[in-house]
Structure 1
Amino acid sequence: MTVPVPAPISDGDRERVAELLQRACGEGRLTLEEFSVRVGAVWAAEDEGALLRATDGLAPTPVVGSSHTVDQVVTVFSQSRRRGRWRLRGRGLRTFTVFGSTEFDLRHVLSGEDVIEISGACVFGEFKVIVPEGVEVDMTGPNVFSNQEFRLAPVPRVPGTPEVRVRVTTWFSNVEVKSARPELPAS
């Protein structure tokens, strides 16, 4: 009795599945973190079964909580946090923080864009961006009497994930950009 050997998969097969996952992310059926993990599995797949597992459980429609869109956040003498499932209205996110704290956790953000741009200013405040491991980040912007900390995990970029561009002008502030491992699902 011979055991059938699975046929090898092509880069074209991987690209088709990666595009399907990217569309699902843009439609709100996957978060950036879920997309990052699944598309990583697609490029590591050695057979058709692994490709199919990367799309297992893909929600047919967006889940509750994904319709809250954001394109601008202003924080004055207060604190703003964007965590959990939230959607970027477009490619860019504008932010302005004065005597406050602003945090964007992009691990569960919903966006189908190839590039996510975060731009703005932080004066006498704190500004923090968290991305999933394997997402490329470019941080620029003038830094006046401020601290900028850039901590990405030393892991390869996950193919198909968007590039995150952070351009924040800071005065007397603390700016942090870091990557974090995927959160474990609640059981």
Structure 2
Amino acid sequence: MTKPELQPKPQSSHAPVAEAEMRVSDADRERIAELLRDAYAEGRLDADEHAERIGAAYAAKTFGDLVPLTRDLPAHRSVSFAKPPLDAPAPAPAPAAARPPMPPARHESPSVVAIFGGASRKGRWRVGAQLTAFTAFGGVEIDLTDAVFESPEVEITVTAIFGGVEVRVPENVTLLGSGVGIFGGFDVREQTAADPYAPVVRVKGLALFGGCEAKPRRGKKLKEWVRKQLGTD
């Protein structure tokens, strides 16, 4: 009696994924973006390099896309991503005192418009080099205290007609103004930040039978852009 032939064991279809091909999370993208902002504030990247790498960081799909963005920066060695093996046990819950990760900043339109109503821009959102606020018989609120600055200088152009625009900035940025009030008021409480690397916010425009007020919010400091210069984590 002949012995039956032994059939080869089928190979598993779940081959391990190479580290560079693993998908990244929003928290991973944000971690790299913060390192790039610090590098730009320190003068390690110029404006074009910073803009190009920031865009690539938020468009990254895998760890292989992220790693080259900080490879030539001193902080590269400290970048780590949590990638437990597929068969690893679930990690223990974080201690109650641990600070939760910040949510990704929102993409928003560079224009805020309010006509016979109100509009606001606040919370954790990305602000670029240009921002426009227009109101007619309404009100606009722009709060930059928790925003992520993606440019060293932000210019806000205001047009307020029978309405009002309110701008709030962190207390550790430079605030400048050059607006005109006609039968209205254009009040910018200017200040110069002690840190030479701090962003500059310029508020300009027109208030016609309306008003614009821009001032720092005490107790609120920008951390996303000048974190290292301020000595905070």
TM-score, length-normalised on structure 2? 0.50
- In the alignment, the residues of structure 1 paired with residue 124 and residue 157 of structure 2 have an alpha-carbon distance, to the nearest angstrom, of 21
Match of 1:11 in 2: none
In structure 2, the gaps of 5 or more residues are 1-34, 43-50, 55-74, 82-100, 222-233
* Counterpart residue identity of residue 161, structure 1: A
In structure 1, the gaps of 5 or more residues are 1-15, 28-51, 53-57
Is 2:141 the counterpart of 1:103? yes
Greater RCO, 1 or 2 (C-alpha within 8 Å, sep 6+): 1
Is 2:160 the counterpart of 1:122? yes
User: How far is the alpha carbon of 1:137 from its aligned partner?
Assistant: 1.4
Is 2:185 the counterpart of 1:166? no
Q: Percent identity?
A: 30
The Cα offsets for residues 113-139 of structure 1, whole Å up to 9 and x where unpaired, read as: 111011131100111111111211111
CA spacing shift, 1:99–1:72, aligned 2, 3 Å: same
RMSD: 3.4
- In the alignment, the residues of structure 1 paired with residue 203 and residue 130 of structure 2 have an alpha-carbon distance, to the nearest angstrom, of 10
* Counterpart residue identity of residue 145, structure 1: F
**What is the DSSP-based 3-state SS (H/G/I as helix, E as strand, rest coil) of the residue aligned with 1:107?**
coil
Match of 1:81 in 2: 120
TM-score, length-normalised on structure 1? 0.61
CA spacing shift, 1:160–1:124, aligned 2, 3 Å: same
CA spacing shift, 1:182–1:73, aligned 2, 3 Å: same
Structure 2 contact 160–208 (Cα < 8 Å) conserved: yes
The Cα offsets for residues 58-98 of structure 1, whole Å up to 9 and x where unpaired, read as: 997x943513323111110111111110112x310112110
User: How far is the alpha carbon of 1:147 from its aligned partner?
Assistant: 1.6
More strand by percentage: 1
- In the alignment, the residues of structure 1 paired with residue 185 and residue 175 of structure 2 have an alpha-carbon distance, to the nearest angstrom, of 18
Greater Cα radius of gyration, structure 1 or 2:
2
Is 2:166 the counterpart of 1:113? no
User: How far is the alpha carbon of 1:110 from its aligned partner?
Assistant: 1.3
Match of 2:186 in 1: 148
* Counterpart residue identity of residue 107, structure 2: H
Paired positions, count: 137
CA spacing shift, 1:132–1:170, aligned 2, 3 Å: same
* Counterpart residue identity of residue 20, structure 1: A
User: How far is the alpha carbon of 1:142 from its aligned partner?
Assistant: 2.3
CA spacing shift, 1:117–1:17, aligned 2, 3 Å: closer
CA spacing shift, 1:59–1:101, aligned 2, 3 Å: farther
**What is the DSSP-based 3-state SS (H/G/I as helix, E as strand, rest coil) of the residue aligned with 2:132?**
strand
CA spacing shift, 1:174–1:120, aligned 2, 3 Å: closer
- In the alignment, the residues of structure 2 paired with residue 107 and residue 133 of structure 1 have an alpha-carbon distance, to the nearest angstrom, of 8
